[in-house]
Chain A
Amino acid sequence: MTTLLEMRDITKEFPGVKALDQVNLKVEAGEIHAICGENGAGKSTLMKVLSGVYPAGTYDGEIHYEDTEARFNNISDSEARGIIIIHQELALAPQLSIAENIFMGNETATLGVINWRDANQRTEELLKKVGLKESPTTQIDSLGVGKQQLVEIAKALSKDVKLLILDEPTAALQEGDSRKLLDLMRELKAQGVTSIIISHKLNEVRYVADTVTVIRDGMSVSTLDAKDGLSEDDIVRDMVGRDMSDRYPARERRAGEMLMEVEGWNAWHPEHLDRQIIKDIAFNVRAGEVVGIAGLMGSGRTELAMSIFGKTYGRRIQGQIKLHGKPADVSTVNKAIKAGLAYVTEDRKSLGLILEEDIRFNTSLANLEGVSKGGVLNDNSETEVAEQYRKALSTRTPSVFQKVGNLSGGNQQKVVLAKWLFTAPEVLILDEPTRGIDVGAKYEIYAIINELSAQGKGVVMISSEMPELLGMSDRIYVMNEGAFVGEMKAEDASQERIMSLIVNE
């Protein structure tokens, strides 16, 4: 076998963060190579380096492809060499037909006039290759996600793909569709197409991969060969094995009286009414307790939080919520806030903050009654409140009149926290509270969470970073595909246990 691709000592730095640190990856021609790693380990960054999203010169290290050093300046450079990425979020135009999508930007045309007969004919051949029995003129949005995935692959084949990269291809697929897709990968392999698959699902990795490279914290830690026999345990250990000492401030763990109980919680997709997103979930939070919810992206954690917080996600929401043992009405955001809930959103820029406005404006936003009398705002007390939280959370800013759009991620997150703390909540649901924040600021956020629990508030923490959940939580629920698949105390929890609960589903 010859080596098709070799990435040597790839190092990629973002301001303040080393995303990749001397990563090595060697892909043989004609194999299926799996890349495994936790969320944020650096898999996607590595693929962006490879495909030219981060152009040559913005990273250190060398890429050798087909025996020459490759320097891609953009995606079309890498595509011209037959490297094609299919992202997790599909890049299809839903209102156009299969053929229109496959030849988008690559139309068979003379003088700008498209030859549809030729396009449809070629599309039919491509669809046959990927085993999709649909007419080339079928509109994309009438297809399921699984079939759309196949269209993406057909599109890649239309461009003479040599190295096909699939980023979490089965994340949104049902069991049967996943299997079909994996079989197609094997078939393409037989036809000489080399593939890289990024996946969390270790059973699938075992099913298709010839070689597995594990990446952790931006470093390649191991390369395992299927010929030696792949064990999921080995892969999991390599994925999570890191020391966690001193990354989390110490907290006296004490769970007080029962604060919030959720029972029989169900919710359906807002548009696809037959898709149940949240399946019969029950959980509880006590005063002073930090409860973690683990799970992969797309497992329904955010949807769960939003369906509880004012029913801001989903339809046909059913279930009971009790606060202090009494049924609580959380059917609108206002009622949820009054009942003592706060939800710190996952995406602070698009859901948490008014970026064009200043810190003061954002701090008082969820509790304007607290800084006004008879509907008239009191400037002074508003400034005082903003100042008070700026000091309490040590938000670094010249003044509370600074536009929040100009703050760093960590300080923006503190403003979001300030907004919710000012509503005097009893239970805070924190959705990915440290995403996109540098290490120092993370520690400060953890310290704030500990402080809240010391004040007797209940904290529900949703996070994709397992070390963070293990380091901060008293109790962890594991969520997968809309349901809770396990619950464990922090002392009994380990990344291996959580991972195996997820991957064994």
Chain B
Amino acid sequence: MEKNTQSIKAHLAAHMRDFGLLFALIAIMLFFQIVTDGTLLKPVNITNLFLQNSYIIIMALGMLIVIVAGHIDLSVGSVMGFIGALAAVLIVNQDMPVPLTIAICLVAGGIIGGSQGYFVAYWRIPPFIVTLAGMLVFRGLSLWLLEGQSVGPFPKEFQILSTGFVPELFPESWGAALAELVGSRKFNVLSFVLGLVAAGAVLAVGLKKRKQDMAYGTDMEPAGLFWARTAIVCASIIFLMFKLSTFRGLPNVVVTMGILILIYAFVTERTTIGRRVYALGGNEKAAMLSGIKTDRLTFLAFVNMGVLAALAGLIFAARLNTATPKAGFALELDVIAAVFIGGASMSGGTGKIIGAVVGAFIMGVMNNGMSIMGIGIDYQQVIKGLVLLAAVFFDVYNKSKQG
């Protein structure tokens, strides 16, 4: 028993960052749950939380890759606003069909990202400068496109991108019965079932990985810790989905976001292209001398960022039901902060998708919680800034302690 607790402590020390992040998110949620008298975790607010943060999380996925590759993209807020404006002009002013507009906007995002990536990758201009220029250019272009006005509203079929909910697949009677059982007005069976499936998947993947680690003698997570962590994650998923199902069910955007998170986590951790991005950020010269096409990879990281910024722009415009010249203003800072809070390093080569997502949620919960409490935007900015500094300081401090 003595030996076991010792190893739990050692493991916690070695994985301080991962656990610290998870505990920080839980602690922040509990804190705001208490100080807002339970408003934070009300079904309607949880739904709001997802809607408010979806576009930040989607951009954080691309930003993580850009930052892991050793770069930065300051233009994403402007690009997002520009794409929203483009969509509005095409749909509202030009009467273009929604699916075609979405396709055009995503391609435009890719071209924008690629044109910035071109200067970074092939001309070696520091990304800070290239994307600072992009930030100004696309902010100006959205003003020009919208002629300084807000353009809207959008047709219904565009709005559902963001504000729509996944339709119920199960018989209505099931929902009614369950609603009565838990004492809510209605109950969306599908979202609850999906929650159970997701929790089951987390458990299954965790167990499989654990079995594999055991077979290869990787540094093993102590059993107690593994079960505690998995239990917390699974319980949280089920809890959140339960809450959502007692409101309007699963928002479309949560599905889009969830699928993207899974894809990007898979690509960064399990594929050769993901591996090469980490190598590029870890040591560009060594990567290049190992046969990795570092220039092309940098270029692609920016293309990807552009596409995700475009998607975020569409979702944002759909949610507001209008495109405004101010859309996405200063959002790049929230996105970058989320990635750094999530454990990525400025020098590149480290950081995980799940870290960036949790980082974005930490920012999101704080925004949301402080707004419910009625804390002014002035204090909110100060607190967010300090949290970012504290998270990175925690990283640096940990590293210096490890020697």
The reply on B290 being an interface residue by CB < 8 A is: yes
Let me know if B290 and A333 touch, CB within 8 A: yes
Q: Whole-angstrom distance between the alpha carbons of A376 and B271 in the complex?
A: 4
CB of A337 closer than 8 Å to a CB of B: yes
CA distance A312 to B285 in the complex (A): 10
Q: Contact check: which of A309, A334, A361 meets B293 at CB < 8 Å? A: A334
Q: A356-B350, A357-B278 are in contact. Are A375 and B272 (CB under 8 A)?
A: yes
Structural contact, A334 and B291, CB atoms closer than 8 A: yes
The answer to whether A365 touches B219, judged by C-beta atoms less than 8 angstroms apart, is no
Task: Collect the chain A residues with CB atoms within 8 Å of residue B231's CB.
Answer: none
B9 close to A (CB within 8 Å): no
- In this complex, what residue of A is CB-closest to B278? A357
Enumerate chain A residues within 8 angstroms of B272, measured Cβ to Cβ: 368-369, 372, 375-377
Cβ–Cβ contact B270 & A345, under 8 A: no
The verdict on A350 contacting chain B, using a C-beta distance below 8 Å, is yes
Contact A419 to B283, CB < 8 A, known contacts A375-B272, A377-B270, A401-B218: no
**Chain A residue at smallest Cβ distance from B293:** A334
Is B349 an interface residue when CB atoms closer than 8 A count as contact?
Answer: yes
A399–B217 CA distance with the chains assembled, in angstroms:
8
Bound-state CA distance A334–B294 (Å) is 12
Asked whether A380 lies within 8 Å of B212 as measured between CB atoms, the reply is yes
Complex CA distance for A119 and B346, rounded to whole angstroms: 41
> Is B164 in the interface zone, CB < 8 Å from A?
no
The verdict on B288 contacting chain A, using a C-beta distance below 8 Å, is yes
A345 touches B289 (CB 8 A): yes
Contact B273 A375 (CB under 8 A): yes
- List of B residues within 8 angstroms of A376 by Cβ: 270-272
Min CB distance, B297 to chain A, in Å?
A: 13
Q: Does B65 contact A (CB under 8 A)?
A: no
Task: Give the Cβ gap from B275 to chain A, nearest Cβ, in Å.
Answer: 6
B216 within 8 A of A: yes
Contact: A354 with B286, CB < 8 Å?
A: yes
**Complex interface bits, B271-301 against A, C-beta within 8 A gives 1, otherwise 0:** 1110110110011011111111100000000
- Also in contact, A379 and B290, with CB within 8 A (given A350-B283, A368-B272, A399-B217): no
**A residues within 8 A CB of B285?**
350-351
| B289 close to A312 (CB less than 8 A) | yes
Contact A383 B290 (CB under 8 A): no
A361, B283: Cβ atoms closer than 8 Å: no
Could you tell me if B216 and A380 are in contact, using CB atoms closer than 8 angstroms?
Answer: yes
Interface centre among B212, B219, B275, B288 (most CB of A within 10 A): B275
Among A336, A343, A345, A376, find the residue whose CB has the most chain B CB atoms closer than 10 A. Answer: A376
Chain B residue contacts of A355, Cβ below 8 A: 282-283
CB within 8 A of A354: which of B217, B282, B291?
Answer: B282
**Cβ of A353 under 8 Å from chain B:** yes
Rounded to whole Å, the gap between the CB of A305 and the closest CB of chain B is 11
Complexed CA–CA distance, A279 and B2 (Å)? 68
Q: Which A residues are in CB contact (< 8 Å) with B273? A: 375
Which of A351, A356, A375 is in CB contact (< 8 Å) with B289? A351
| Nearest B residue (CB) for A336 | B291
Per the CB 8 Å criterion, the residue count for chain B at the interface is 26
What's the nearest-Cβ distance from chain A to residue B327, in Å?
36
Partner of A383, one of B216, B292, B293: B216
What CA separation (Å) do A312 and B275 show in the bound complex?
Answer: 22
Whether B212 contacts A379 by the Cβ 8 Å rule is yes
| CB–CB B216/A366 < 8 A | no
Knowing A375-B271, A377-B270 touch, does A356 contact B286 (C-beta < 8 A)?
no
Nearest neighbor of B217 in chain A, beta-carbon distance: A399
Does residue A352 face the partner (Cβ distance < 8 Å to B)? yes
Which residues of chain A (349-399) have a CB below 8 Å from chain B? 350-357, 361, 365-366, 368-369, 372, 375-377, 379-380, 383, 399
A377 touches B271 (CB 8 A): yes
- Chain A, residues 397-429, CB within 8 Å of chain B (1/0): the string is 001010000000000000000010000000000
> With the chains together, A337 CA to B289 CA distance in Å?
10
The distance from the CB of B357 to the nearest CB of chain A, in whole angstroms, is 21
A377 to B350, CA, bound (A): 18
> Given that A356-B350, A383-B216, A401-B218 are contacting pairs, would A351 and B291 also be in contact in the complex, using a CB cutoff of 8 Å?
no
CA of A365 to CA of B276, assembled, Å: 8
- Give Cα A400–Cα B125 distance, bound, in whole angstroms: 37
Of chain B, the residue at the smallest CB distance from A335 is: B291
Residue of B nearest to A378 (CB): B270
A336 to B291 alpha-carbon distance, docked (Å): 9
- Give the docked Cα–Cα distance between A217 and B288 (Å): 36
The answer to whether B282 and A356 touch across the interface, beta carbons within 8 angstroms, is yes
Annotate B336-380 by CB proximity to A: 1 below 8 A, 0 otherwise.
000000000000011000000000000000000000000000000
Q: How far is the CB of B211 from chain A (nearest CB, A)?
A: 11
CB distance from B1 to the nearest CB of A (A): 25
Partner of B349, one of A333, A345, A356, A401: A356
Find residues 48-104 in chain B having any chain A CB closer than 8 Å to their own CB. none
Please provide the chain B residues from 241 to 295 with a CB less than 8 Å away from any CB of chain A in the complex: 270-273, 275-276, 278-279, 282-283, 285-293
Question: A426 to chain B: closest CB distance in Å?
Answer: 16
Selected contact of A399 from candidates B219, B283, B293, B349, CB within 8 Å: B219
Is the pair A365, B217 in contact by a Cβ cutoff of 8 Å?
Answer: no
B209: nearest residue on chain A (CB-CB)? A379
Q: Chain B residues near A368 (CB, 8 Å)?
A: 272, 275-276
Question: Chain B residues near A401 (CB, 8 Å)?
Answer: 218-219
Give A189 to B275 CA distance when docked, in angstroms. Answer: 60
Contact of B288 among A333, A353, A357, A375 (CB under 8 A): A333
B-side contacts of A332, CB under 8 Å: 291
Q: Is the CB of A357 within 8 A of B282?
A: yes
Q: Which of B282, B288, B349 has the most CB of A within 10 A?
A: B282
Contact A372 B271 (CB under 8 A): yes
Contacts of B292 in A (CB 8 A): 333, 365
CB of B287 within 8 A of CB of A365, answer yes
Most buried by A among B283, B287, B349: B283
In the bound complex, residues from chain B placing their C-beta under 8 Å from that of A336 are 291
A353 touches B271 (CB 8 A): no
- Contact, CB under 8 Å: B212 / A353: no
Taking CB atoms, residues of chain A closer than 8 Å to B278 are 354, 357, 361
CA of A333 to CA of B290 in the docked complex: distance in angstroms? 7
Closest to B290 in A: A366
Chain A contacts for B270, CB-based, 8 A: 376-377, 379
Residues of chain B lying within 8 A (CB to CB) of residue A352: 286, 289
* Complex CA–CA separation, A355 to B349 (angstroms): 10
Give which listed residue, A333, A345, A361, A383, contacts B291 with CB less than 8 A: A333
| Whole-angstrom distance between the Cβ of B15 and the nearest chain A Cβ | 13
User: In the complex, which residues of chain B have a beta carbon less than 8 angstroms from the beta carbon of A369?
Assistant: 272
Contacting B at CB under 8 A, from A313-367, are 332-334, 336-337, 343, 345, 350-357, 361, 365-366
A419 to B287, CA, bound (A): 12
* Residues of A contacting B350 in the complex (Cβ-Cβ under 8 angstroms): 356
Q: CB-nearest residue of chain B relative to A419?
A: B290
**Contact yes or no, A312 B288, CB < 8 A:** yes
Smallest CB separation, B65 vs chain A (Å) = 16
B398 to chain A minimum Cβ distance, whole angstroms, is 14
- Give A366 Cβ to nearest chain B Cβ, in Å: 4
A-B CB proximity, top 5 nearest:
A354-B282, A366-B290, A368-B272, A333-B291, A334-B291
20 sample A-B contacts, Cβ–Cβ < 8 Å, listed by A number: A309-B289, A333-B288, A336-B291, A343-B289, A351-B283, A351-B286, A354-B278, A354-B283, A365-B275, A365-B279, A365-B286, A365-B290, A365-B292, A366-B291, A368-B272, A368-B275, A399-B218, A399-B219, A401-B218, A419-B290
Please name 19 further chain A to chain B contacts, defined as beta carbons within 8 Å, in addition to the given A351-B286, A419-B290, sorted by A numbering: A309-B289, A333-B291, A334-B293, A336-B291, A350-B285, A351-B283, A353-B283, A357-B278, A357-B282, A366-B290, A369-B272, A376-B271, A376-B272, A377-B272, A377-B275, A380-B212, A380-B216, A383-B218, A401-B218
> Which positions in A face B, CB cutoff 8 Å?
309-310, 312, 332-334, 336-337, 343, 345, 350-357, 361, 365-366, 368-369, 372, 375-377, 379-380, 383, 399, 401, 419
- Name B's A-contacting residues (CB within 8 A): 212, 216-219, 270-273, 275-276, 278-279, 282-283, 285-293, 349-350
